[in-house]
Amino acid sequence: MEFITGKHLPRRTFLKGMGATVALPLLDAMEPAGRVWSKLPRAVDPTRLVTIEMVHGAAGSNEWGASQNLWAPAEVGRDFDLSTSALSPLEPYRDHLTIISNTDVRMAEAFQSTEIGGDHFRSSAVFLTQAHPKQTEGSDVYVGTSLDQLYANRFGQDTPIPSMQLCIENINQSGGCAYGYTCVYTDSISWATPTQPLPVIRDPRVAFDQLFGAGGTAEERDARRRTNKSILDWVAGRVATLRTQLGPNDLERLDRYLENVREIERRIQSVEAHNMSGAPRELPEAPAGVPDSFEEHMRLMFDIQALAFASDITRVFSLKMGRDSSARVYSESGSDRPFHPASHHGGREAGILEFSKINQYHVSMLPYFLDKLKDLQEGEGNMLDKTMIMYGSPMADANLHNHRRAPLIALGKANGALEGGVHLRAPDGTPMANPMLSMMHGLGMDDMESFGDSTGEFSLSSTTRSQG
């Protein structure tokens, strides 16, 4: 392939070898000739979007838990204290943290008597659509288009993959779940249309291969793996040619990027080797590429997202961290209780605190991702400043299965759309769709007049809210 077009590399440059295609990160050589050394303004880099569902609410959404500030801090504005909150692991990134508390997800509630009890089986579908799912066990599903897909449709069509959907637990189920709902509602947070849920990827190997083109067919991928060679080995000649045409800064960026690609690949290979060795597994039903360790699984998924952003293969990810009814034990959290039984704490203070440990453990996964994005330089800024990460749940108090005071935060600066370092408390009765609508406006979709059950915008500016 040709590496040089005119006097600079095209932004969408790929290194291709047998069964492998590796996209490149943004390099100075991709700028028009002369711009790198001039004072000409640079085009604003596209905002990346990550949406993460933490399933089944938070201990701080319980009435007593809220009084103890187990999720949202007591203070509104900038001088908030996270020490008692499940958000405390984000203290090092408080300048990139926007807390939006006291919003409701009423579209996840039962609208008629036959829907009562089905909160588990419709909530996930509501999270990013803020629309009420049609109760059905058949294929005639209907809910709404999710905000990640609205963004991908507008700003992701010029990338090789408009969006990707990831998950941590086994959610590939079909047919009816319970209370008259098909499992697709509880398995899907991304909806291309109101009737089209998007499939999710649990196996880091599958996500890696899809992003980095490691073999065009299953047979090619299997053949490549049997050689025990890295995808980088297949493009080594292309890399060598490219290196002769880059300056020192670009060489350093290229080497760091390729090292990260190889390190992720090594870790996936190590997980696969262990899981195929015959040793007992904690997750015997999981594919070989899925780590038994929740933390390692999360980190691999975050690493894959960071590399995809660096190479602009995609700008949109959704990540579903679990299932409401999961019995997984997160022993690293300090709690030995399975997730779902822990969430049904009966309103007991000790049980609420136990569930909060799991909430905090889940939040503690995020700084690893934030570190990765902050370390990624793109042009004159870092990737964290160019990313919006939305993290929340359509459920509030899991014990009661209610949807009032549902947890929601945003991380990153989103190219200036988010100030960070602020806690914004919504008036009682505010739909979660309101701040989501404002986030979409900040992402460039200014022409959107409504979203889900929104009743208007919700200012994400601390200055505006203090004056309002």
Q: Nearest CA to 376 among 467, 256, 251, 225? A: 256
Minimal CA–CA distance to 93: which of 421, 452, 434?
421
Rounded to whole angstroms, what are the CA distances from 68 to 59, 63, 339? 10, 9, 21
Beta strands in 89-190 (DSSP E): 97-104, 164-167, 176-178, 181-182
pTM of the predicted structure, to 2 decimals: 0.93
The verdict on residue 42 lying in a domain is no
Provide mean pLDDT across the span 259-264: 93
Q: What's the average model confidence in pLDDT over 7-34?
A: 76
In the block, residue with structure tokens 């042009």: 379
Instruction: Report, as an integer, the average pLDDT of 271-283.
Output: 94
Contacts of 331-336 with C-beta under 8 Å, sequence gap 24+, read 332/294, 332/295, 332/361, 333/357, 333/358, 333/360, 333/361, 334/361, 335/361
Residue 435 lies in a domain: yes
Distance CA 271, CA 291 (A): 6
What is the overall mean pLDDT for the chain? 90
325 DSSP assignment? T
Q: How confident is the model at residue 228 (pLDDT cuts 50, 70, 90)?
A: low
Output DSSP code: residue 364: T
In this predicted structure, what is the pLDDT of residue 29? 87
Q: Where are the alpha helices (DSSP H) in 331-406?
A: 339-343, 349-363, 366-375
Please check the confidence at residue 38 and state whether its pLDDT lies above 60.
no
Task: Band the pLDDT of 4: cuts 50, 70, 90.
Answer: very low
* Domain-embedded: residue 236: no
Measured CA to CA, the distance from residue 212 to residue 14 in angstroms comes to: 10
Query: Does the pLDDT value for residue 21 go beyond 70?
Result: yes
- Concatenated DSSP letters of 278-301: T---SSTTS-TTS-S-HHHHHHHH
> With 0-12 CB in 10 A as exposed, 13-18 as middle and 19+ as buried, what is 33?
exposed
* E strands, 327-435, in order: 377-378, 381-382, 387-392, 408-411, 422-431
In terms of residue numbers, what domain contains 395?
47-202+290-467
**Residue with the two structure tokens 């004056």:** 467
The closest of 417, 354, 431 to 386, measured between CA atoms, is 417
Domain count, the chain: 1
Residues 1-6, mean pLDDT to the nearest whole number: 38
pLDDT of residue 45: 77
Please identify which residue in the block is written with the tokens 């109760």: 135
Mean pLDDT computed over 166-187: 84
| Residue 87 within any structural domain of the chain | yes
C-beta separation of 207 from 147 below 8 A? no
> Is pLDDT of 464 > 70?
no
Cβ(280)–Cβ(268) under 8 Å? no
Q: Pairing state of beta strands 408-411 and 387-392?
A: antiparallel
List the one residue out of 162, 163, 190, 206 whose CA is nearest residue 300.
206
Mean pLDDT of 43-68: 92
CA distance 458 to 447: 16
Contact 48, 257 (CB under 8 A): no
Quick: pLDDT tens for 416-446. Answer: 999 999 999 999 999 999 999 999 999 999 9
**Residue 302: pLDDT over 90:** yes
Q: Is residue 207 part of a domain?
A: no
Cβ atoms of 296 and 28 within 8 Å: the answer is no
Is 247 inside a domain boundary? no
Domain assignment present for residue 223? The answer is: no
Q: Provide the pLDDT for residue 267.
A: 96
Whether 259 is covered by a domain: the verdict is no
In whole angstroms, give the CA distance from residue 269 to residue 265.
6
236-240 long-range contacts (CB < 8 A, ≥24 apart) are: 236/17, 237/17, 238/1, 238/3, 238/15, 238/16, 238/17, 239/15
CATH of the domain at 367: 3.40.720.10
Whole-number percent of the chain with pLDDT over 90: 76
Average pLDDT over residues 163-175: 83
Give, in order, the Cα–Cα distances in Å from 339 to each of 291, 301, 322, 343, 405.
18, 21, 10, 6, 20
